[in-house]
Structure formats: structure tokens, C-alpha cells
Amino acid sequence: MITTDTFSKFARRMASTRDFPYITIAETPNPIRQLEPDALRARAEAMISTVVDGLTLPPAEIERRLKDIARQQIHPQGVVRSAVPV
């Protein structure tokens, strides 16, 4: 998945509702709307290794790398959420 840093945590939470908590997320700083093509290209090139890892690493390795990150982003410590959807 590719997103800006503003939406990464939300993206992981949404992916976890579909049983994909360890999805690889390549992120870039927000905003990107008004960047020139050269700046966009530099951002895309900076994310390439993450995209390649997400497409080529075995699922067990991706889970190992993302387990702590996913836990923190999906269930942040000290944040209590309702068990009943609103």
C-alpha cells in the first residue's frame, strides 16, 4: 500500500479489519498535491525498496518486521476504544 504519513495509521487499521494487519505500507510525507514532477519522482524513488520488499519478502518475514509497528498502530497503548461500532 502506498500512502502519505498522514494516512498510514488509518490505512493499517482499515487493513487489519480485513485481516491484513501486516500489510507493507510505503509512505511519503504529506502533502504531495502541489509538488513538481521532480519532487514526486524523488519521493517515489525513496519508497521503491519498501514496495519491492512488500512484493517479494515471504509473509512470515513481513510479519516479523511489522509485528510491533502494527500492534502500536492498530491498538495504541493508553487508547481505549469501544467494542461496539458507533
Mark residue 64 as left, alpha or beta (left: phi above 0; alpha: psi -120 to 50; beta: remaining): alpha
29 contacts: CB under 8 Å, gap ≥ 6: 4, 5, 43
Task: Tell me if 81 is assigned to some domain.
Answer: no
Task: Tell me if 85 is assigned to some domain.
Answer: no
Task: Tell me if 7 is assigned to some domain.
Answer: yes
C-alpha cell of residue 17: 479489519
Count how many domains the chain has.
1
Task: Tell me if 46 is assigned to some domain.
Answer: yes
Task: Tell me if 53 is assigned to some domain.
Answer: yes
Domain carrying residue 39: 2-74
Task: Tell me if 79 is assigned to some domain.
Answer: no
The kind and range of the H/E element at 75 are none
Q: What is the tens place of the pLDDT at every residue in 6-59? A: 999 999 999 999 999 999 999 999 999 999 999 999 999 999 999 999 999 999
Its pTM stands at 0.81
Task: Tell me if 82 is assigned to some domain.
Answer: no
